[in-house]
Amino acid sequence: MKTPLKILLGSALVGLLVYLYYTEVKPVVIFGLRDEYAHAIPFQKIPEGLTSLKAESCGQCHREIYDEWKTSIHAHAYEDPFFQAYWKKDKNIWVCLNCHTPLENQQPTLVKEIPRGRVEKAVQEPNPHYDPEYQKESVTCAACHVRDGVIYGPFEDSAAPHPTKFDPNFRTAQVCQRCHNVVSGPAQFYNVGPCGTYSEYEGKFFMQERGFICQSCHMPAIDRPVATNSPIRRSRQHLWRGGHDPDMVKRAVGVQVKADIASPKPGDRVSFTLTVINAGAGHKIPTGDPDRFFTVEFSVEDRQGKVLDQQTSTMGRWIMWQPAIVELYDNRLLPLASREYQFTYQLPAQADGLKVKARVQYHILTDKQHEMLQTQYGLTGNDPYRFVVYEREFPLSGGLAAALSASEQSAAMSRQPEGTSCKAGTAG
């Protein structure tokens, strides 16, 4: 066989293998399918005694819960600008809706079959029950609480104008598992799935010793009437604050800064050690979307704000996305774990007015990704995609000891695990 023919046949074989890899092996989304979220929650009818499945109808009696839900990321999971931009990037693939608008009632098509697990080959047909206004409610009340015409909940003794049923899952983390445990698929080599917060949950200290579940921090316990004119009982706030909420992130992260020389002189080499502690999250930080990360930043500035030296370190996941998804590195912090970051600077002969700035920032995505979503995929709104978790200044020409002491006192106030301020238990 002549060489040109061998090259031609070899190229054809490589081309065929590449085609088969992308059409039959590698998923078109960055996760694999699991039964719980491979399909929408089946169509739900309106329970007897109610006029609608919409959240506003529930809010007529459960007003405080309804008002909390309206402020949550769950209530805006579909219209969220970041989701809409990323979803457009993914060609509005149907499977994303199974968590962002999880009820069949909210989806424009019915998925009848998924040949070979290929989401792009799914057999779909128009959904006669689709309600576009209901879709905008995203993760709405009925997504968790309505099944087969019955309202499911955490209480065994409910008295309500509609059918109710006790579901023990509401007193466990299991109720969060469907959407917060996205698994990897073929040719996807994650250490944990791309949105695997549930599987990252630490079960020894937080769960066994402290008795916490996801809801302990993300749905804080409260004593109040669950519905209008009902008795006061222990229930939960429907807030679900998490990775998009600056205060929630700050409450999970502890920071300490120390220096090896408390009163440095010109010519001294002074080393700062910044310790980041996962003091309050029962899972790794950051968690959720694999694009999220922290930066630990040091800089030296003069009186005019000119930067004389700087250093930045990153905490997150490093993932190769093509041709296969391979998680190369993960240096996120486990619950209650800490990591030290060091920065050393030699003071010049004239050190008056010099200061070290230490800062920890949380990033939902990078500047480059944000620009890409704006210019190519229509990202709208001014939602913050990064924010400062910790920031302090430490003078190098006097007053360093006092600044370090003040920083230590501030850190001590927030050193207790976040769980200690969450009321754990099995309340709804």
Residue 168 DSSP code = G
pLDDT digit string, tens, across residues 26-78: 999 999 999 999 999 999 999 999 999 999 999 999 999 999 999 999 999 99
Distance CA 155, CA 167 (A): 8
Q: Going from the N-terminus, what domains does the chain have, and what CATH number goes with each?
A: 30-171 (no CATH), 176-428 (2.60.40.10)
Residue 425 is predicted with a pLDDT of: 34
CA distance 37 to 243: 21
Task: Give pLDDT, residue 423.
Answer: 38
The pLDDT score that the predictor gives to residue 412 is 61
Distance CA 53, CA 63 (A): 15
Instruction: Map residue 416 onto helix, strand or coil.
Output: coil
Mean pLDDT of 68-94: 96
Tell me the pLDDT tens digit for each residue of 347-363.
Answer: 998 888 999 999 999 99
Residue 417, pLDDT > 70, answer no
pLDDT digits over 132-168, tens only?
999 999 999 999 999 999 999 999 888 889 999 999 9
Mean pLDDT of 122-138: 97
pLDDT in tens, 174-196: 999 999 999 999 999 999 889 88
Grade residue 413 by pLDDT with cuts at 50, 70 and 90.
low
- What pLDDT score does 288 carry? 92
Q: Would you state the pLDDT for residue 414?
A: 56
What whole-number distance in Å separates Cα of residue 284 and Cα of residue 307? 33
Q: Is the pLDDT of residue 1 over 80?
A: no
Contact 297, 248 (CB under 8 A): no
State whether residue 375 is helix, strand or coil. Answer: helix
Q: What is the mean pLDDT of residues 242-258?
A: 94
Q: What is the pLDDT of residue 238?
A: 97
Both tokens assigned to 23: 């059409």
More confident residue, 97 or 350: 97
Q: Rounded CA gap, 401 and 274, in Å?
A: 15
**Order of strands, sheet of 269-278, starting from the edge strand that comes earlier in the sequence:** 253-259, 269-278, 338-346
Rounded to an integer, what distance in angstroms lies between the CA atom of residue 27 and that of residue 139? 25
Reply yes or no on whether the pLDDT at 415 is more than 60.
no
Average pLDDT over residues 292-321: 96
pLDDT band at 219 (very low <50, low <70, confident <90, very high): very high
- Residue 421: its pLDDT value, please? 46
The per-residue pLDDT for 196 is: 87
pLDDT at residue 370 in the model: 94
Q: Decide: 146 and 106 in contact? Cβ < 8 Å.
A: no
Look at residue 281 and tell me whether its pLDDT is greater than 60. Answer: yes
CA-CA distance, 293 to 296, in Å (whole number)? 10
Is residue 390 within 8 Å of residue 359, measured between CB atoms?
Answer: yes
pLDDT of 424: 34
Please state the rounded mean pLDDT for residues 360-384.
92
Q: What is the pLDDT of residue 109?
A: 97
Q: Is the pLDDT of residue 10 over 70?
A: yes
Q: What is the pTM of this model?
A: 0.90
What is the per-residue pLDDT for 18?
Answer: 84
Per-residue pLDDT band at 249 (split at 50, 70, 90): very high
Residue 407 pLDDT greater than 90, yes or no: no
Residue-averaged pLDDT of the chain: 91
Q: What CA–CA distances, in Å, run from 152 to 101, 138, 166, 254?
A: 19, 19, 6, 38
Which percentage of the chain shows pLDDT scores above 90? 75
Alpha-carbon gap, residue 274 to 260, rounded angstroms: 12
Sign of the C-alpha dihedral computed for residues 70, 73, 76 and 81 taken in this order: positive
